[in-house]
Structure 1
Amino acid sequence: MNPKAIDRYRANLQGEIDSLTLYLAMAEAEPQAPLAELYRRLAKVEEKHADFWERQIREAGAPVKPRAPTARTRIKVWLARRFGPGLLLPSIAAAEQMDQRMYDDQPESARTGMPQDERSHARVLGLMAGSFPRGLEGSALARIEGRHRAIGGNALRAAVLGANDGLLSNLSLVMGVSGAHLSSHSVLVTGIAGLLAGAFSMAIGEWISVQSSRELNQFQIATEADELAAAPEEEEEELALIYEAKGLPPDQAKALARRLISDPAKALDTLTREELGIDPKDLGGSPWVAAMASFVLFAVGAVIPVAPFLFSEGTAAVRGALLISAVGLFGIGAGITLVTGRSVWVSGIRQLLVGLAAAGVTYGIGHFIGVQLSG
């Protein structure tokens, strides 16, 4: 008997009991029959999970206590019955999103399909949380479905922040070296070295990040393919749930799911998109494009404080670096407002003050170190 394992089994069981109780209460309180049926089907899956953990506890030689929801779940049940399930749905969907991988690293559930069930529930509830009486509107669906998310905002944000990293880090580096009263040639060499080191670091980091994401997506697709081959009926049920959450009547959702599952290649493509939120043709983008973009964006920002040292020396070069860097910092702050929608002046001035403060601190530290080393 492993006490830690038994405690984990009991914690998993309690979570399933709470979910089962809550879904049944939401089904009872839901006035729309299709949504009520969805809640009951979710509860049925949670009941299977609860049965599984009860078996694990018994096999470990420990007693199984009678099923009872926690006090928090009882409060949620009361709220669902009093005010309707719509009050709780957003928070439940968010909780499912957070817990959707809770079984991924538990060996007992590795070959049961339970990890996939949890991810499916998270996606279905996410769709339901954004739904309307006649199903999901296009704009709401686009915000939920991974393959329809607009990348413009994220791409712009990445571009602005990449340039900001280069500008701020190299400005601080150049000011620190300038504060130590090194020659302009030394400052220039240091600035160029900082540009290259930072740009290569960003590029390599981005390549690893995107490549790792692609490999994870490939692994998830392979796992989905194995599950489709091993349990096509369960995958059909999950697809039907997803399409019902999108607003299709139950009979149409089941017919569509049945038709898709009949073609293994099309079924895998659809499950990959609908259940995993992965575009199998893209897999998260090219790591090489991401790496090159990160290199260029960082370098564009990092070259700004170095440029004056190519044409001037001493105090004039330092002042020039501060001046054009200040313009660059304000421009980056203003660019961020294209994503945030905040005031251009507030964001620009905030970015300017933060950047100049960092440069001032590193200049002071560099000056202190330079004095100590020379004296």
Structure 2
Amino acid sequence: MNERTSAPSRAQIRRWRRYLADERAEASVYRDLASRRDGEEKQILLALAEAEARHEKHWLDLLGDQVGSPRKGALRTRALGWMARRFGSVFVLALAQRAEARSPYESDADATAMMAADERIHGEVVRGLAARGRAQLSGSFRAAVFGANDGLVSNLALVMGIGATGVSTPVILATGVAGLLAGALSMAAGEYVSVKSQRELLRATQPDLSARDVVPMLDVNANELALIYRARGMTTKEAAIKAAQVLASAGTPATGEVVVIDDHEAVGSATGAALSSFCFFASGAVLPILPYIFGLQGFAAVVAAAIIVGLALLATGAIVGLLSGGPPLRRALRQLAIGFGAAAITYALGLAFGASL
């Protein structure tokens, strides 16, 4: 604890009280997350809660008899706690990771260097926990995000480009529906083939466990068992030692003991990726044509479609930012700029072609 030679200022007391409330709220978030998990993850989260309690004690010691009445933590921390109690998902862990990364302790003279280091390490611990959930989501989630954004951007661009030529509303609507179906089917087929091929490629790298049956019959003095381990990344010396160990206990699985590449979980299933891609592309592609479905025409329909799609692009960008641990606002604005940029180009082309019709 820092030694003080003078009474703290009112600003310091307010700041310490705020830190105290935040530490209590963060510890509560970790306990709430732990209540929805078991095994190792539960123990890790409870250990993080204990660490926050140490930081809490630091501010209690500084405040002494000026602790005051209990205060609520920051709004974002309380919102995090609410989600942790009800969901406990990778989204909450991703938000907790960002919260740890925003710790003010490194620049605050009243916090110790150890506390600042703790917060940095806490962020990495939460990142590791979130990585497990991200790995499970990555295959279908990737297809879902790409599908939704492709549907939003491609159909908005299509509708705006066709609309700018001056054709009638029924033609624009029919074009939008055709773009929805064609794009969704194309995305689903592409995702299925892509993920299926990737899984087959990964499967081809796995050891053939039936090869263990021939180990007892190998020539001890001249055998190729060591080549297996060398092909899998071991040095010549390491491979020779490993082969000797396996031969010394003939019948022990040979190829099953090498490092196995197992990225199937991260890749996801081909069917899941295809369904996610189809559904999310369709859900994104339907938004630009909603104004035309409900009877809007001309420039009013174009503005309405742009607003609806813009809000959806902001939402998907923010979600990607949260899950990736990046700044949600920056990701949201990036998605918006890309989507509106594509739509503006096709709208300008539509105006150019429309003028010559």
TM-score, normalised on structure 2?
0.51
Q: 2:163 corresponds to which letter in structure 1? A: S
CA contact (8 A) 1:174 1:190 kept: yes
Where do residues 89-104 of structure 1 align in structure 2 (5 Å cutoff)? none
- Equivalent position to 1:212, from 176, 194, 197: 197
1: distance between equivalents of 2:272 and 2:169? 35
The answer as to 2:346 corresponding to 1:362 is yes
- C-alpha displacement of 1:210: 1.8
Q: 1:320 to 1:222 in 2, by over 3 A?
A: same
Please report how far the alpha carbon of residue 189 of structure 1 lies from its aligned counterpart in structure 2 after TM superposition: 0.9
Structure 1 unaligned segments of length 5 or more: list them.
1-138
- Residue 189 of structure 1 corresponds to 174
Judging changes above 3 Å, is the alpha-carbon distance between structure 1 residues 149 and 269 closer, same or farther for their aligned structure 2 residues? farther
Determine which of 300, 318, 329 is the counterpart of 2:313.
329
Deviation of 1:311 (Å): 0.6
> Are the equivalent residues in 1 in contact too, given 2:225–2:243 (CA < 8 A)?
no
Asked if residue 339 in structure 1 is aligned to residue 323 in structure 2, the reply is yes
**Matched residues, number:** 220
Structure 1 runs of 4+ aligned residues shifted over 6 Å read 237-240, 253-256, 258-261
The 3-state SS of whatever aligns with 1:150 is helix
- Contact persistence 1:160–1:335 (CA under 8 A): no
Which of 351, 358, 364 is 2:335 aligned to?
351
Say if 1:208 and 1:165 are closer, same or farther in 2 by CA, change over 3 A.
same
Counterpart CA distance in 1 for 2:142 and 2:183 is 19
Provide the rounded CA distance (Å) in 1 between the counterparts of 2:133 and 2:339: 36
Query: Shift of the alpha carbon at 1:191?
Result: 0.7
CA offset digits 1:212-234 (Å, max 9, x no partner):
22332343347786699583344
Q: Deviations over 1:165-220 (max 9, x none)?
A: 11111110010011011111111111111111111111111111122223323433
1:231 corresponds to which of 224, 227, 238: 224
Alignment correspondent of 1:296? 279
Partner of 2:302: 318
Structure 1, residues 310-362: CA drift from partner, whole Å, max 9, x if none? 11231332222111011111112212212343332222223222222221221
Is 2:143–2:276's contact at 8 Å kept on the other side of the alignment?
A: no
Letter matched to residue 309 of structure 1: Y
**Partner residue, 2:33:** none
DSSP 3-state at the match of 1:304: helix
**Structure 1 counterpart of 2:350, one-letter code:** G
Distance 1:326 1:341 in 2: 22
**Cα distance change, pair 285–336 in 1 and its aligned pair in 2 (3 A):** closer
After TM superposition, the structure 1 = structure 2 runs for residues 90-239 of structure 1, keeping only pairs within 5 Å, are: 150-153=135-138, 155-221=140-206, 231-235=224-228
Letter in 2 for 1:350: R
Q: 1:262 aligns with which of 251, 272, 275?
A: 251
1:189 and 1:369 map into 2 onto residues whose CA distance is 19
> Structure 1 residues 297 and 283, CA, compared in 2 at 3 Å: closer, same or farther?
closer
State the percentage of identical aligned residues.
37
Equivalent pair of 1:228/1:235 in contact (CA under 8 Å): no
TM-score (norm 1): 0.49
